[in-house]
Amino acid sequence: MNPDHTYKHGYKWAFAYAAMFAVLAPFFSSVDEIFDGFVKILLADNMLITDYFSLAGFGAALLNVSAVTAITLVLMYKCRIPLNGTGILTVGLMSGFSFFGKSVFNMWFILLGTWIYSKWSRQRFSQFLLISLFSTSLSPLISHLFFYQKQFAINNMLLSLFCGIIIGFVMPMMGPYAAYLLNEMTLYTSGFSVGLLCLVLVPILKSYGYQFNPVTVWTSGNNVPIGLMLAAFCFFLIYMGWRSEGMQAVRNYFHLLKRPGVSSQDFTDLDGMGAVLINMGINGLIATLYIIGIKGHLNGPTIGGILTIMGFSAKGKHAANIVPIIVGVALGGITKQWSPNSPPAQLAALFGTTLAPISGAFGPIAGIIAGFIHSSVVQHAGMGYSGINLYNNGFAGGIVSIVVYPVFVRIFRFNRYAEPSPGSPAAVRQQLEAIKAQEALNAQIFRHAHDVEVELEHELEEIEHHHHHEHKGE
């Protein structure tokens, strides 16, 4: 298949995913309600946790998700970023958080900052697009400053622009550095790095009198309709995975379950898209059933968590390494001062799966311990930035991974399984490399044999020439 055709085919499905939310919007709200609600989202300060379903209605929230996802895809397509593991998780992340924090307004100042950095460093913007999109974790800061105290003041707007540019400019330099500290034991590396940056920005702003008050806008009572839609979407992904490669996709899925899930492992490459689609569907069902099982609430934030899990199912998360983390967080909710179905605990169980590599690398016991610790750390890690960082679990997970890694690496056996599944792109590439190596070896053997043959012929000529002279002497 032509590579360009494959590239475009992947984006057609991705754009269909973005359009799906816009198509669903009119089934929940009238056109006027969608328009009015969409404006509310644009003008909201978006402090964590702001459920767009409650703030603006279902239709407007879905339209915002569709718009943010479509913008993300257009930018990725223009920058020719492939829909591999990293590309898919980016789409899942952006669409998930556009249910409760990201809007078509508050992402642009950060992107502008990264574009300025690319010009300053004389590099292509496409090299930094993904880290810039991840950095929109601080989009609530942009909205909060721009609409500070619900006033349209020029100084606040300029400060919002300035902070967005600073974030977008700094993150391409901070992101890779912060990743070195995490030892691939957490998947939301951008959440950790933007958390560190936020710990500097917010106190500076507070020292000039700006106030940041976390809020909880949370809806409930919609588990049945949302649960049915999520389940239908998950089963569709499982079906498409099976349809694309048949039982080979199923067999490759079981190979996928053996992997630690470290950030360097791209499941689309190691196991193929069929297995990845099955993995996405199964992980989505696990997360949805967990929220329903603890009598939690399927709403904007929890849907965001579920879609994020599904996105990272292309690179990092699978049933074997997320379930122990979720169990650990649930145990924390049972034994500590909050219940598993409190809003922060629900989000901790979903987004806490950033620690999936710990469970995959060191085993389920280590995963349960990490999840148990995370359930406490995430409740307090964000106090320094007052609910501004959407990836609060990513920041807390980074702290947990840094603390437990040096201990676990001495106690537990490390899982390094990285063999490609049969028929996967990595396996095919490995076979091609083996064929090329064999051809190179054969060519080397042929050249050596040819050289030996020439040398023997030369020696034979010398012997015949010597004998000829001896015969003439006689």
C-alpha to C-alpha distance for 154 and 146, rounded to whole angstroms: 9
The candidate with the shortest Cα–Cα distance to 202, out of 191, 213, 192, is 213
Q: Is residue 38 part of a domain?
A: yes
425 SS3 class: helix
Domain boundary pick from 207, 236, 253 = 207
Q: Is residue 127 part of a domain?
A: yes
Rounded to 5, what percent of the chain is helix, strand, coil? Answer: 75, 0, 25
What's the number of domains the chain is made of? 2
Domain boundary pick from 207, 233, 250 = 207
Instruction: Give me the torsion for CA of 221, 219, 233, 224, rounded to 10°.
Output: 0
Q: Is residue 185 part of a domain?
A: yes
Q: Is residue 404 part of a domain?
A: no
14 CB-contact burial (10 Å; exposed 0-12 / middle 13-18 / buried 19+): buried
Cβ density class 266-299: b for 16+ within 10 Å, e for less: bbbbbbbbbbbbbbbbbbbbbbbebbbebebbbb
The tens-digit pLDDT sequence of the chain (474 residues) is: 444 445 566 899 999 999 999 999 999 999 999 999 999 999 988 777 899 999 999 999 999 999 999 999 999 999 999 999 999 999 999 999 999 999 999 999 999 999 999 999 999 999 999 999 999 999 999 999 999 988 889 999 999 999 999 999 999 999 888 878 899 999 999 999 999 999 999 999 999 999 988 888 899 999 999 999 999 999 999 999 999 999 999 999 999 999 999 999 999 999 999 999 999 999 999 999 999 999 999 999 999 999 999 999 999 999 999 999 999 999 999 998 889 999 999 999 999 999 999 999 999 999 999 999 999 999 988 888 877 899 999 999 999 999 999 999 999 999 999 999 998 988 887 777 767 777 777 777 777 777 777 777 777 777 766 666 565 555
Q: Is residue 220 part of a domain?
A: no
Return the structure tokens found at 330. Answer: 């649930």
Domain boundary pick from 158, 192, 207 = 207
Q: 469 is in which domain, residue-wise? A: 424-474
Determine the number of helices (DSSP H) and then strands (DSSP E) in the chain: 21, 0
Q: Give the pLDDT of residue 471.
A: 58
281 SS3 class: helix
pLDDT tens across 242-285, in order? Answer: 999 999 999 999 999 999 999 999 999 999 999 999 999 999 99
Which residues fall within 8 angstroms of residue 256, CB to CB, at 6 or more apart?
Answer: 267, 270, 271, 275, 276, 279, 318, 421
Strand partners, 217: 50
Q: Is residue 355 part of a domain?
A: no
pLDDT tens across 437-465, in order? Answer: 777 777 777 777 777 777 777 777 777 66
Q: Is residue 294 part of a domain?
A: no
91 touches 17 (CB < 8 A):
yes
186 touches 394 (CB < 8 A):
yes
Residue by residue, DSSP assigns 288-327 as HHHHHHTT---SHHHHHHHHHHHHGGGTT--HHHHHHHHH
Whether the predicted model's global pTM rises above the 0.85 cut: yes
C-alpha to C-alpha distance for 371 and 358, rounded to whole angstroms: 10
C-alpha to C-alpha distance for 371 and 222, rounded to whole angstroms: 27
> What CA–CA distances, in Å, run from 367 to 187, 320, 348, 376?
14, 10, 14, 15
Phi, psi of 51 (to 5 degrees): -75, 115
Q: Is residue 455 part of a domain?
A: yes
